[in-house]
């Protein structure tokens, strides 16, 4: 009897992989973030990536990081976590959100209020900033747990070639 493959990816790699693939849709030239929300049955209930709201053209709104506030992307851009929550089916209690970057304080509030109970992230590059501290204070107080994945050894290649399917 032929045995099953052993080198299949685990749930963490799978869901974070989907978050990273979603990030590839982002038009932000500096930072692309993706998020994937999963329920207790390991079913995906929402995905999203950072970008401007509907009706706000990727070509007419600014992608700049510096300058006058209204000339930067910051007042306009929706974060990946917000989009994943808004794109999801509405019952998110006890779900887990996989996101490339640790959530900012605004996303932390949405995550908590949506009922999501776990945050899994790859990078915490803003650790120590006030926004990051506020996120952690709110998560700790509300019982939302967070954990960092260390998948730096893993590289997944996807081929769209017909002959590779």
| Residue 91 near which of Zn ion, ligand LCLUPRNS, none (CB within 5-8 Å, type-dependent) | none
Residue-by-residue DSSP string for the chain:
-PPPPS----HHHHHHHHHHHHHTT---SS---EEEEE-TTS-EEEEEE-BPPTTS-TTTS---SSSSGGGSSTTTPBPHHHHHHHHS-S--TT-EEEEEEPPPHHHHHHHHHHT--EEEEEE-TTTTSHHHHHHHHHHHHHT-EEEE---TT--------GGG-
Neighbouring C-beta atoms of residue 54, cutoff 10 Å: 6
Member of 101, 108, 122, 144 binding ligand LCLUPRNS (CB under 6 A): 101
* 28 belongs to the binding site for ligand LCLUPRNS (CB under 6 A): yes
Chain positions 115 to 154 lying near ligand LCLUPRNS, rule: CB under 6 A, are: none
Chain positions 46 to 65 lying near ligand LCLUPRNS, rule: CB under 6 A, are: 50, 65
13 catalytic? Reply is no
* 79 belongs to the binding site for Zn ion (CB under 5 A): yes
Member of 18, 104, 138, 149 binding ligand LCLUPRNS (CB under 6 A): 104
Binding site for ligand LCLUPRNS (CB under 6 A): 28, 30-31, 33, 50, 65, 73, 77, 79-81, 99, 101, 103-104, 107
The binding site for Zn ion (CB under 5 A) comprises: 79, 104, 107
């Amino acid at each position: 009897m032929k045995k099953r493959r052993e080198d299949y990816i685990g749930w963490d790699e799978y869901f974070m992989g989907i978050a990273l693939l979603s990030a590839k849709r982002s038009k932000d030239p500096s930072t692309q973030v993706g998020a994937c929300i999963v329920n207790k049955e390991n079913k995906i209930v929402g995905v999203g990536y950072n970008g401007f709201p509907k009706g706000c053209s990727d070509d007419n709104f600014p992608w700049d990081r510096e300058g006058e506030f209204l000339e930067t992307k910051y007042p306009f851009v929706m974060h990946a976590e917000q989009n994943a929550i808004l794109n999801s089916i509405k019952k998110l209690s006890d779900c887990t959100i996989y996101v490339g970057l640790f959530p900012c304080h605004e996303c932390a509030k949405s995550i908590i209020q949506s009922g999501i109970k776990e945050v899994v992230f790859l990078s915490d590059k803003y650790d120590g900033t006030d926004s990051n501290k506020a996120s952690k204070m709110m998560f700790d107080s509300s019982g939302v747990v967070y954990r960092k994945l260390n998948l730096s050894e893993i590289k997944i290649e996807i081929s769209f070639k017909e002959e590779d399917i």
